[in-house]
Amino acid sequence: MSSPLDFPTLSIVDHPLVRHKLTLLRDRATPTKQFKELVDEIAMLMAYEATRDLVLEPSSVDTPLETTGGWTVRGKKLTLVPILRAGLGMVEGILRLIPSARVGHIGLYRDHDTLEPVDYYFKVPGDVSERDFLLLDPMLATGGSASAAVTSLKRAGASRIRFLCLVAAPEGVRRLTADHPDVPILTASLDRELNEHGYILPGLGDAGDRLFGTR
Ligand code: PRP
Ligand code: URA
């Protein structure tokens, strides 16, 4: 059984609300509408942790009574990049916390037979080297999709990238850490293993299908 301590780049966002919502998310009986709401809520809670190190600068504010000191997040340019499709489910929740963030998109799907990622779309804001990227995908299984997405971002000039997922398999964490040791990984859960079809156990099934009601 893998422990988070085995992986130096991995952080688990451990919070009672995240555990509760993740349990509902895993439930095979959870319908699409609730599944979508839960992904959105967990992503928002995770973004709170993922942005803990944002740099503040002192500012001042005029209250109705007087001028006082305050704090403003320093003008970092934050960009959310969902991996299509399932990563889309994480965007709105995070934008509610960080409404000024830009959103790029990376289109990738995992070939059902080879489990290799196939890429079909890439679009991110232009000033890539000045931006901090939060790469989003609920599932880190073999790690092929996340690793390919990071490679694409780096090829475009990105250097500050963090990967946020809801459920990670040890195999995926190992692969992403080996390919991109500079990319911190945040997850709500480190699950046990992959099955012979590359699905995470215990997992939550196919995140894209459950989010969008396809199958
Ligand atoms: C799922 C998931 C990840 C990928 C993870 O997407 O959302 O992108 O699989 O698997 P990996 O770590 O083994 O690469 P999928 O390929 O099913 O595409 P979809 O989001 O369009 O359904
Ligand atoms: N992609 C998913 O959506 N679920 C898994 O368990 C593995 C890959």
pLDDT tens for 19-56 read 999 999 999 999 999 999 999 999 999 999 999 888 89
Q: Domain with 194 in it: what CATH number?
A: 3.40.50.2020
131 alpha carbon to ligand 1 midpoint, in Å?
Answer: 25
Residue 125 lies in a domain: yes
CB 139 less than 6 A from any atom of ligand 2 = yes
* Structural domain harbouring 33: 4-53+77-212
DSSP for 77-115, please give it.
EEEEEEEETGGGGGHHHHHHH-TT-EE-EEEEEE-TTT-
Q: Which tokens hold the place of 43?
A: 């992503």
Residues 164-193 pLDDT 10s: 999 999 999 999 999 999 999 999 999 999
- Give the pLDDT band (50/70/90) at residue 75: low
- Write down the ipTM of this complex: 0.97
CB 50 less than 6 A from any atom of ligand 1 = no
Of 111, 200, 211, the residue with max ligand 2 atoms within 8 A of its CB, to mutate for a pocket test, comes to 200
CB 87 within 8 A of CB 133: no
Residue 159 lies in a domain: yes
What are residue 102's DSSP bridge partners?
A: 79
Least confident interval from 1-10, 113-122, 142-151? 1-10
Residue 92 lies in a domain: yes
Residue 72 lies in a domain: no
Does 76 or 124 have the greater pLDDT score?
124
Residue 62 lies in a domain: no
- The pairing of strands 56-62 and 67-73 is antiparallel
Residue 70 lies in a domain: no
Atom of ligand 2 nearest to the CA of 138: 3
Asked whether residue 74 carries a pLDDT value surpassing 90, the answer given is no
- Decide if 132 is catalytic: no
Number of domains comprising the chain: 1
Least confident interval from 78-87, 110-119, 179-188, 206-215? 110-119
Residue 68 lies in a domain: no
CB 152 less than 6 A from any atom of ligand 1 = no
Residue 202 lies in a domain: yes
